[in-house]
Structure 1
Amino acid sequence: MAESALHPAAAETPRNASLTDWIAVAAGSLGALLATLDISITNSALPQIQGQIGATGSEGTWIATGYLMSEIVMIPLAAWLTRVFGLRRFLIGTALMFTLFSMFCGLSSSLGAMIAGRIGQGFAGGAMIPTAQTIVRTRLPTHQLPIGTTLFGMTAILGPLLGPVIGGWLTENIDWRWCFFLNLPISVALITLLLTGLPSERMNLAQFIEADWLGILGLAMGLASLTVVLEEGQREHWFDSVLITWLSLASAIGFLLIAIGQWRARTPILRLQLLGNRSFASVLLIGTAVGAGLYGTAYLVPQFLGILSGYNAEQSGSIMLLSGIPAFIVLPFLPRILGRYDLRYMVGAGLLLYWASCFLDTELTTASVGHDFIGSQLLRGCGQILVMMPLSQLSMRSVEARHAGDAAGLYNMSRNLGGTFGLALLGILMDRRSHFHDSALREGISANSSLAQDQITSWTASYLAQTGDPGTAQLQAFGQLANDIAQQAAVMAYNDAFYALGLAMLACLPLIFLLKKRTAPAGPRP
C-alpha cells in the first residue's frame, strides 16, 4: 500500500500486451493478408489460366466470382464458428483448408475443378479476415490498440494492391500455378504462429446445436446469390437472363429468412441490433463506400492501362503499387497518429484526399499513360490510410468487447459488399456512358462534316500509299474514324466513372459527425 503511494506512476501503468499476444496479432494479420491477397492474385493471370483449362472469357470470370461469393458468406459466420470450436482450433482448421484448396487450384486442369477450388479457398479465407480484427480487439490493451489496428489495416490496403502485382510477376516469369502454390509456405508460417500465440479452448457444441439455422440458410442464399447477381448481371443483361432472375429471387428469400431469424432466434447469426448504434452504423456506411472506391479504382486503373495504353499485367501492377508507397512511409508513425488525433477528422481528411485523387483522373485522354496516374495513385494511397485505419479502430471502439467478433464480421462484410456493389455499378455506368458518348461524338462529327471529310481524306491518302487500292484505303479510313470515336468514348466513360467514385466519397463526409468521439486519450490512463 505504502509502496503504491510512493510510486503512483507504477500503480497507474497499464498492462502491456505479452509476447504471446503479439504473436497472436501477427498470426491474425498474416492470415488476413493471405485472404485479401488471393481475392485479386488471379486477376493478372486470368488469360493464361483460361487458355490452359479451356475456359472462355465469360467463364473465366467465375474464377474470381467463386472466391468472392464464398468469402462474403463466411465472413459473418466466423464469429459464431469461433464460439463453437474455439478461436485456435477454428483458425488452424481454416488455414489447413485454405492450403489444401490452394493446392487443388494449382493442380486443376478443368474449369469446374478450378471454380470448386476457388469456392473452397474463399470460404476458408473469409474466416481469416474478421478473426484477425477480433484478436486485435481482445488480446491488446486499449493503449496498444492503434498498433494492432495498423497491422490489421495494412492487410486491407496491401492485399488488393499486391495481388495483381505478385500474380502478374509469377505468371510472366514462372507459371500461373505458383499464384496458388505460393500459399503453402505462408500457410505453414501462419499455422506455426497460431499454435504459438493462441491458447487451446474447449468446444461449445451447444452453440452449434442451438444455432440460428434459419438465419444461416438465409445468409448463404442471400449473400451468395446477391454476389453472383452483382458480378454477372451486367454480362448477362440483368433480368433478360433466367439465371439472374432466379438468383435475384433466391437472394430476396435469403434476406427474408435472415429477418425471420432476427425475430425467432435467441442468438441471431447476424447481430443486426448493433446497427442501432449510430456510430457503428456510420462506420459500416463509410466502409461500404470506401470498399467501392478501393475495388473500383483497383479495377479502373489497370483496365485503362491495359486496354487503352497497351500495358501488360506487370506494368499495370507497378502503377497500382504506387498507392502502397504512402502506407510504407507512414507505417512507423501510424500507431502514434491514431492514438493522438481525433479519428473522425482523420476519416474526413482521408475521404477528401480520395475524392481529390479521383478528381485528378477525370481529365484522362487517349494519350494518357502510366505516369499520368502517379499523382492520383500517391494521393489515393494517403486517402486509403487515413480512412481505413481509423475506420478499423472505430468499428471496434463503437461496440462492447463481447460483440467484437460480430462487429468485425459486419464491418468486413460491408467493405466487401461495397466492393461488389461498386464494381457492378461501375460496369453499368461504363457501358451506358460509353454508348452515350459514342452517339454524341458521331452526331458532332455529322454537324462538322468538313472537318471529318478532311481527316478521312488524309487517312485515305495515307492508306492508299500503303495498299494502292482506293476502295480498300477508304474503308480503312472509315474504320480508323470509328475506332477513334470508340476510343474517345471509352476514355470519357472512364472519366465519368472516376467522377462518380469521387462523389461517393464526398457523400460520406456528413457521416463522420456521427462517429464515436474519443472520450479519453488512447494512451496510458489511471
Structure 2
Amino acid sequence: MAEAIATQGSADKPHDATLTDWIAVAAGSLGALLATLDISITNSALPQIQGQIGATGTEGTWIATGYLMSEIVMIPLAAWLTRVFGLRRFLIGTALMFTFFSMFCGLSSSLGAMIAGRIGQGFAGGAMIPTAQTIVRTRLPPHQLPIGTTLFGLTAILGPLLGPVIGGWLTENIDWRWCFFLNLPISIALITLLLVGLPSERMNLERFIKADWLGILGLAVGLSSLTVVLEEGQREHWFDSLLIIWLSIAMVAGFFLIAVGQLRSSTPILRLQLVINGSFGSVLLIGTAVGAGIYGTAYLVPQFLGLLSGYNAEQSGSIMLLSGIPAFLLMPVLPKMLGRYDLRVMVGIGLLLYWASCFVDTRLTTESVGHDFVLSQLLRGFGQILVMMPLSQLSMRSVDTRDAGDAAGLYNMSRNLGGTLGLTLLGVLMDRRSHFHDDVMREGILANSQLAQDQMASNTASYLSQSGDPSTAQLQAFSQLANDIAQQALVMAYNDAFYVLGLAMLACFPLIFILKKRTTQAGLRK
C-alpha cells in the first residue's frame, strides 16, 4: 500500500527540466540578447562610422534601417524555417551568418558595404529572437516556465538598453569597429551552447517545396517596405518623395500577396488565425504599445540629454542604465511572482507605472539635466519588467504548444513593429509640436509682451558692452531671443511626446481584462 502511494506521488510530481534543457534555454536567451543588442549598438557610434565611411547624416540612418528592415522580415519566417531545417541546424546556421556579417561590418570602408552587412546581420539576428521564446515554451515544463520566461524577457529589455551604452563606451575608449568585433566571442559561446543543448533533427525539405511562397514574397516585400516607409518617411517628407510613394505601393502589394496566401495555402507563412484568439490578440496589441514605449523613450531621453543638457553618449548611457536596475533587483523573485500571482494584475500595474514614468517627464524644462530623469527611469524600469515578462509568458500560454513557434514570431514582430511605428510617430509629433509652440510664442512676443521686451533690452545692453556697435548688438539680441524660443519650443515638444506615450499605455489598460487567467501553478488556461 505504501509503495502504491509513493508510486502515485511520484507520478503526480511534475518532472523538472534537465541540464541539457537549461543549456538550450541559455543558448536561446544569449542569441536573443545578441540580436536585440545589435539593433541599437551603432546608435552612439553613428557619427564616427559616418565620418570614416564617407556617409552623410541622412545616408547614415540606413545603417540602422537596414538592420531593422531585414530583422522584421525574418522574425515571422523563423518558425517555418525551423520546421524545414530543424531547430539546431537552423540556429547554428544563423549564428554563423550573424558572425560573418558582423565581421564584414567591422571591416567595411564604404556605405554600401556597411548597409549590406547590416542587412545580413538583421536577417540572421531576426531568427534568434522568436526561436529563443520557442525553446522556452517547448523545453521547459509548465511549473518552470516562469524562470525561462524571465531569462528571455530580460533580453527584450536589456538589449535595446545596453546597446547604446556599450556602443558609446567602445567608440569612446577603443574603436567603433569593436561594436561588431565584440560579436565574435559571444557567437562562439552561443554555437557551443547550441551544439550541447539542442538535439540534431532531420530536415523536412517537403515543407520547403510546398511552402506558402506567395505569402513569403508578400512578407518580404510588404514588411521591408513598411519598415523603410516608417523609418525614412519623416526625413523624406512623406509623399513628396517618389521613394516613399513607390515603397508604399510595394507595401500594399506585399500585404495583398499575404492575404492571397492566407486563402490559398493550407499552411500560410503567417498564422493570422491565431490573432482571432482574443487573449493572444490582446497580448499583441499591448506588446505593440509597449514596444513603442521602450524604443520611444530610448530615443527621447538620450536626445534630450544630448541636445539640451550637453551630455555625451557615455553620460547619456549612464542615465539610460537606471531603467535596468529594477530588472536586476527583481530577477531573483520574478520567477516566483510569475508563477504565483495573476499575470493580468502584473501587466496592469506595469502599465500604470509606465504611464507614471511618462507623466513625470512631462514637466521638463530647459534647466533639466540627468538627475531629473532618475525617478522616471526607475519607474520605467519597473513598468517595463512587470509588463514584458508576463506578456512573454501569456503569449505562449494563450496558444497550444504546437503553435508556439508561430505565436512567438507574431509576438516579437508586433513588438518590433510597435517600436518602429512609435519612433515614426514621435518624430512627426516632435517636428509638428515644436513648430506649433515656436509659432505660438513668437505671436505672444509680437503682441508687445513686456517680459520679452525687457529681455531684449537686457540682451542688447549686454552685447553692446561687448561690441560697442548698436546695430550688431540688436541683431545678436534678436538671434539670442530666437534661440531661446526654439529651445523652449523643443522642450515643450518633448513634454508632449512623453504625454502621448503615457496615454498609449493607459489606452492598453482595458485589454488586460481579455487576457487569459491561469487556473493552476502549472499554467493551465481557462
TM-score if structure 1 supplies the norm length? 0.99
Tell me if structure 2 keeps the 8 A contact 1:344–1:515: yes
Q: Is the partner of 2:69 in helix, strand or coil?
A: helix
Q: Cα deviation per residue 1:159-179 (whole Å; 9 max; x = unaligned)?
A: 000000000000000000000
Question: 1:83 corresponds to which residue?
Answer: 83
1:471, distance to aligned residue in structure 2 (A): 1.6
Give the letter for the 1:497 counterpart.
A
| Alpha-carbon distance in 2 for matches of 1:135, 1:207 | 21
1:446, distance to aligned residue in structure 2 (A): 1.7
Question: 2:414 corresponds to which residue?
Answer: 414
Tell me if structure 2 keeps the 8 A contact 1:71–1:123: yes
| Alpha-carbon distance in 1 for matches of 2:508, 2:139 | 31
Question: 1:131 corresponds to which residue?
Answer: 131
Q: Cα deviation per residue 1:466-508 (whole Å; 9 max; x = unaligned)?
A: 2222221111110000000000000000000000000000000
Question: 1:329 corresponds to which residue?
Answer: 329
More displaced 10-residue stretch of structure 1: 307-316 or 457-466: 457-466
Question: 2:31 corresponds to which residue?
Answer: 31
Q: Is the partner of 2:363 in helix, strand or coil?
A: coil
Give the letter for the 2:326 counterpart.
P
Tell me if structure 2 keeps the 8 A contact 1:222–1:252: yes
Tell me if structure 1 keeps the 8 A contact 2:278–2:515: yes
Question: 2:461 corresponds to which residue?
Answer: 461
Question: 1:162 corresponds to which residue?
Answer: 162
Question: 1:245 corresponds to which residue?
Answer: 245
Tell me if structure 1 keeps the 8 A contact 2:292–2:421: yes
Give the letter for the 1:328 counterpart.
F
Question: 1:280 corresponds to which residue?
Answer: 280
Q: Cα deviation per residue 1:342-396 (whole Å; 9 max; x = unaligned)?
A: 0001000000000000000000000000000000000000000100000000000
Q: Aligned ranges for residues 447-526 of structure 1 at < 5 Å?
A: 447-522=447-522
Q: Is the partner of 1:332 in helix, strand or coil?
A: coil
| Alpha-carbon distance in 2 for matches of 1:523, 1:267 | 28
Mark the CA change 1:523 to 1:407 in structure 2 (over 3 Å): closer, same or farther: closer
1:465, distance to aligned residue in structure 2 (A): 1.7
More displaced 10-residue stretch of structure 1: 488-497 or 471-480: 471-480
Question: 1:402 corresponds to which residue?
Answer: 402
1:2, distance to aligned residue in structure 2 (A): 5.6
1:460, distance to aligned residue in structure 2 (A): 1.2
Q: Aligned ranges for residues 57-76 of structure 1 at < 5 Å?
A: 57-76=57-76
| Alpha-carbon distance in 2 for matches of 1:432, 1:235 | 13
Question: 2:423 corresponds to which residue?
Answer: 423
Mark the CA change 1:56 to 1:463 in structure 2 (over 3 Å): closer, same or farther: same
Runs of 4+ in structure 1 over 3 Å off: 6-9
Give the letter for the 1:349 counterpart.
I
| Alpha-carbon distance in 2 for matches of 1:312, 1:464 | 34
1:453, distance to aligned residue in structure 2 (A): 2.0
| Alpha-carbon distance in 1 for matches of 2:272, 2:394 | 17
Tell me if structure 1 keeps the 8 A contact 2:358–2:499: yes
Question: 2:264 corresponds to which residue?
Answer: 264
Tell me if structure 1 keeps the 8 A contact 2:397–2:523: no
Give the letter for the 2:48 counterpart.
Q
Q: Cα deviation per residue 1:424-467 (whole Å; 9 max; x = unaligned)?
A: 11111111101100000011112243322221111111112222
| Alpha-carbon distance in 2 for matches of 1:122, 1:504 | 28
Give the letter for the 1:76 counterpart.
P
| Alpha-carbon distance in 2 for matches of 1:503, 1:398 | 26
Question: 1:209 corresponds to which residue?
Answer: 209
| Alpha-carbon distance in 2 for matches of 1:4, 1:275 | 46
Q: Aligned ranges for residues 32-47 of structure 1 at < 5 Å?
A: 32-47=32-47
Give the letter for the 1:105 counterpart.
C
| Alpha-carbon distance in 1 for matches of 2:521, 2:100 | 45
| Alpha-carbon distance in 2 for matches of 1:220, 1:29 | 26
Question: 1:373 corresponds to which residue?
Answer: 373
Give the letter for the 1:312 counterpart.
N
Tell me if structure 2 keeps the 8 A contact 1:4–1:11: no
1:7, distance to aligned residue in structure 2 (A): 5.5
1:523, distance to aligned residue in structure 2 (A): 7.7
**RMSD of aligned Cα (Å):** 1.0
Q: Is the partner of 2:25 in helix, strand or coil?
A: helix
| Alpha-carbon distance in 2 for matches of 1:433, 1:522 | 49
1:71, distance to aligned residue in structure 2 (A): 0.2
1:6, distance to aligned residue in structure 2 (A): 4.0
Tell me if structure 2 keeps the 8 A contact 1:153–1:388: yes
Q: Cα deviation per residue 1:142-192 (whole Å; 9 max; x = unaligned)?
A: 000000000000000000000000000000000000000000000000000
Q: Cα deviation per residue 1:383-430 (whole Å; 9 max; x = unaligned)?
A: 001000000000000000000000000000000000011011111111
Q: Cα deviation per residue 1:319-350 (whole Å; 9 max; x = unaligned)?
A: 00000000001001000000000000100000
Give the letter for the 1:269 counterpart.
I
| Alpha-carbon distance in 1 for matches of 2:249, 2:342 | 44
Q: Is the partner of 1:235 in helix, strand or coil?
A: coil
| Alpha-carbon distance in 2 for matches of 1:257, 1:176 | 40
Q: Cα deviation per residue 1:112-163 (whole Å; 9 max; x = unaligned)?
A: 0000000000000000000000000000000000000000000000000000
Give the letter for the 1:395 counterpart.
S
Give the letter for the 1:484 counterpart.
D
- Give 5+ residue unaligned stretches, structure 1: none
Question: 2:235 corresponds to which residue?
Answer: 235
1:69, distance to aligned residue in structure 2 (A): 0.3
More displaced 10-residue stretch of structure 1: 484-493 or 445-454: 445-454
Q: Cα deviation per residue 1:69-114 (whole Å; 9 max; x = unaligned)?
A: 0000000000000000000000000000000000000000000000
Tell me if structure 2 keeps the 8 A contact 1:4–1:10: no
TM-score if structure 2 supplies the norm length? 0.99
Tell me if structure 2 keeps the 8 A contact 1:340–1:522: no
| Alpha-carbon distance in 2 for matches of 1:221, 1:31 | 26
| Alpha-carbon distance in 2 for matches of 1:184, 1:309 | 36
| Alpha-carbon distance in 1 for matches of 2:7, 2:31 | 42
Give the letter for the 1:85 counterpart.
F
Give the letter for the 2:424 counterpart.
A
Identity %: 85
| Alpha-carbon distance in 2 for matches of 1:476, 1:13 | 80
| Alpha-carbon distance in 2 for matches of 1:211, 1:523 | 33
More displaced 10-residue stretch of structure 1: 515-524 or 176-185: 515-524
Q: Aligned ranges for residues 383-398 of structure 1 at < 5 Å?
A: 383-398=383-398
1:8, distance to aligned residue in structure 2 (A): 4.1
| Alpha-carbon distance in 2 for matches of 1:113, 1:329 | 42
1:521, distance to aligned residue in structure 2 (A): 2.0
Question: 2:298 corresponds to which residue?
Answer: 298
Mark the CA change 1:109 to 1:6 in structure 2 (over 3 Å): closer, same or farther: closer
Question: 1:151 corresponds to which residue?
Answer: 151
1:297, distance to aligned residue in structure 2 (A): 0.3
| Alpha-carbon distance in 2 for matches of 1:17, 1:106 | 39
Question: 1:350 corresponds to which residue?
Answer: 350
More displaced 10-residue stretch of structure 1: 173-182 or 443-452: 443-452
